[in-house]
Amino acid sequence: MHITIPRPLSLRLIQMLPDEATRRNSSHRSQRLIRVMHQFSAFALLCIALLIPPSSASGQQLWISGTNSSSIPYQPHHIGVVDLSTGNISQQVQITGLGANEIFTDIAWDPSGNTLWGLSYRQTPSYESFVYQINHLTGAATLVDSITGYRMQSLAIDALGEMLYMAPLDSAFLTSYDIVALSFTTTPLSAPLGSRGDMVFGPGGALYSSTLQFSSPFTESIVAVDPVDGTVTSLINTGGDPQLYAMAWMNETSDLLAIGGFAGYTPSGGFPGGAGQIYSLDPLTGTITYTSTLNLAGTGFSSFIGGASVQAPEPSAGFLVMVAGLLAFRRQRPSLP
């Protein structure tokens, strides 16, 4: 008599499962398929990035500050964006939140293009200067700090976005402001700066400043200032007094620009009068060249332009997609054996 003993269910299920080698091969095939799909997706993102044209909004924007008032304290003050190709002003807003007697003198964008700094001073009841952060969309100014005893005229920010530099009228020193530590430091200069109205950092950390000789013949010049040891080096003698209150370094064109300040003013040296005259400065050759004039009629800058600063470009859509593609490549798993 033959008796068949049924095998346990668990044993039968185990025998039905694939062996270890089969499972490993299947797992490897699945992971390879996932990796291939991941590579294809990353490649597709990079291709899309190359097809997206650069956005016109991604270029540098030249901002100016100024007023349409002709009497002290020249309020209200405004900020806006300059179109150098047409001379038109856009995105104009009025600065709010300043004190009643404050004269707004300059602006400076941080290197990231996220924060717009502003500078002002008052003359009564005593000299005092104020550092602001400004909302460029609304014009709202938020007070950050102040320093007494000075009429700060010019403002610049270093390449790291950590230090503000400012200089008062007819001065022989440079003041720095540590944005992190919230503290002022004064550096003596080798020559009186006589700040005309603006400073700007150029290539290699060079700090350029427009200055005015506060004695006859009252000529204007462009100098380089060493913010560490205070050395002042003369670069351009304008040969007159075009009243260069605003300066900006255009990285995209490697051009140092200056903008004339007061409307109705006729400078010496054969320069055209009025506010909004744009000049190209060459620190290497020491030349200054008139290039064009802004269209200021009916704007908030028709009487005086006091400051200028360049806002860093925002990443374009193509750039962001390309970054996503590169990150996708970096997230790939290591090669399987």
- pLDDT, residue 239, reads 65
- pLDDT, residue 97, reads 97
- pLDDT, residue 157, reads 96
Q: State the Cα–Cα distance between residues 235 and 222, nearest whole angstrom.
A: 6
Phi/psi zone of residue 298: left (φ > 0), alpha (ψ -120 to 50 degrees), beta?
left
As given in the structure block, the two tokens for residue 91 are 């995105």
Set out the domains of the chain in order of their start, with CATH numbers. Answer: 58-311 (2.120.10.80)
- pLDDT, residue 286, reads 87
Q: State the Cα–Cα distance between residues 156 and 202, nearest whole angstrom.
A: 10
Q: Whose CA is closest to 253, among 225, 291, 210, 227?
A: 291
Phi/psi zone of residue 30: left (φ > 0), alpha (ψ -120 to 50 degrees), beta?
alpha
pTM for this entry = 0.75
- Give the residue ranges of the chain where pLDDT is below 50: 2-3, 5, 9-14, 16-17, 36, 38, 42, 45-50, 52-58, 315-337
Q: State the Cα–Cα distance between residues 221 and 218, nearest whole angstrom.
A: 10
pLDDT in tens, 77-90: 999 999 999 999 99
Q: Whose CA is closest to 337, among 58, 20, 25?
A: 25
DSSP for 223-242, written as a single string: EEE-TTT--EEEEEE-SS--
Phi/psi zone of residue 264: left (φ > 0), alpha (ψ -120 to 50 degrees), beta?
left
- pLDDT, residue 182, reads 95
